[in-house]
Structure 1
């Protein structure tokens, strides 16, 4: 009897074959599937930042960082990369084992549970929806980044809709495994800043992104140690916090291949 494609995939999904794709290759397959020509992932600033100091609900990234839900953040970034088409409703249907391998988890039971918890965390933040897909796979739909549960639309088509672009180099250079969770959060924040030489002021980041100052400091150090950013120069600025009315702070810029676009 001839097997269908779904049946053939079922037959190999649980055989525990040791020669399956590793984490890096699995992510490559996801990124190849996206067919993004500019090799970047657009993410609205609203995923990172609430409305202003002390205003509104926390942004989704703030919640993920505060709760140390690094796997959920990783799945979200990869989902954002592969859900490209409005025709598909910005949804993708894949095996939980594939998502688990992308997280570096190869035990089917452990990986399935970890992926399920991550999707649940993202559902609670109202940035994704999940449903049963074909062949016992899970269909995941990307929603608007701000956590309102609104239908996703491509950013930048209207004025006042700012977004950053996360380069594929994030995965290709292994930053998904090298950086700590604070480093990943600061990478996304830094990608949203203009101009090319930008300050990373602990107090301001805490006020606007809801991330505590210790996490900010650790994230900046992580980016420096992995040569994602470099200190380009210092600048003088006016302030009431010093007796002289003048302060000095470092400015940073991205190192190749992580230039902002």
Structure 2
């Protein structure tokens, strides 16, 4: 996969609401009391524990669809009502991903919706007043209707805190950084290893991409390398090797731990 830098933003025309203010208003409208988005782990990884398979995230990373991921995370945050849909102007969504051009914004949003529709993560319908209605589907890409994840009954999920947007990580992180943030949040542990060599099989993300994302999260003060652990292996002469152990830093420390 080609190197992906943080999303480029277009200049903000006079009289147009800036990107972060647009996002703030969208998130306020969601009215989630805990200010966190529940996301099923199926978005990242599927299959049984012994034979995991990548979820839809790997398609977005492989195809370098940063803005599609940005819009998907925002849609996930704001569709919290009965029908899990949201109706908005394309210009609003375009501003939320930093494209303030009248024509380019329409194109950016239309392309992103198509990617998400093809992955069966959303449906689109024509809304009122020239707006578009976006309906969130289940995170596994099966195309089935969305239902809130349950805290019990084998429906694992993780929360994406609103601080992701509050702290501007949606702008400053590259696509590898965003992907690895979601993966680290899904660990739901205070400390965890993330062997880069396992990333292709576990999440469909190359070891190089994972390494860049982990380094970026550490540079941003989101993730810390807190220890190293030894493990048995046949890949070394001694039969032992070591790997880093990470921990998320506040406010991204898994809630409830």
TM-score, normalized by length of structure 2? 0.90
The answer to whether residue 232 in structure 2 is matched with residue 238 in structure 1 is: yes
Choose from 60, 65, 89 the match for 1:64.
60
Q: How far, CA to CA, are the matches of 1:187 and 1:157 in structure 2?
A: 21
Structure 1's unaligned 5+ residue stretches are 1-15
2:202 to 205, 208, 215: 208
Aligned equivalents of 1:155, 1:102: Cα separation in 2:
26
Distance 1:56 1:216, change over 3 A: closer
User: Within the alignment, does 1:133 sit opposite 2:127 as a pair?
Assistant: yes
Q: Distance in 1 between matches of 2:54 and 2:246?
A: 26
Q: How far has the Cα of 1:54 moved from its partner?
A: 11
Deviates more, 1:102-111 or 1:51-60: 51-60
SS at match of 1:195: coil
The residue number in structure 2 matching 1:97 is 91
Pick closer, same or farther for the CA change 1:226–1:56 going to 2, 3 Å. Answer: closer
Aligned in 2, Cα 1:101/1:45: closer, same or farther, shift over 3 Å? same
Cα distance in 2 between the residues matched to 1:171 and 1:222: 17
Equivalent pairs counted in the alignment come to 244
Q: Which one of 39, 48, 62 corresponds to residue 43 of structure 1?
A: 39
Q: CA deviation at 1:85?
A: 1.0
How far did 1:53 drift?
Answer: 9.4
Q: Is the deviation greater in 186-195 or in 26-35?
A: 186-195
Verify the 8 A CA contact 1:84 1:90 in the aligned structure 2: yes
Give the Cα–Cα distance (whole angstroms) in 2 for the partners of residues 54 and 191 of structure 1.
21
Larger Rg: 1
* Aligned counterparts, 1:211-222, within 5 A: 211-222=205-216
Is the aligned partner of 1:84 residue 2:54?
A: no
Question: Which fold has the larger relative contact order, with Cα–Cα distance below 8 Å and residues 6 or more apart in sequence?
Answer: 2
Q: Which residue of 2 aligns with 1:8?
A: none
The alignment's C-alpha RMSD in Å is 1.8
The 3 A distance-change label for structure 1 pair 54 and 119 is farther
Q: Determine whether 1:21 maps to 2:13.
A: no
Question: Which runs of 5 or more structure 2 residues have no equivalent in the other structure?
Answer: 1-11
> Is 2:162 the partner of 1:168?
yes
Q: Give the superposition deviation at 1:248.
A: 1.3
2:153 to 150, 159, 166: 159
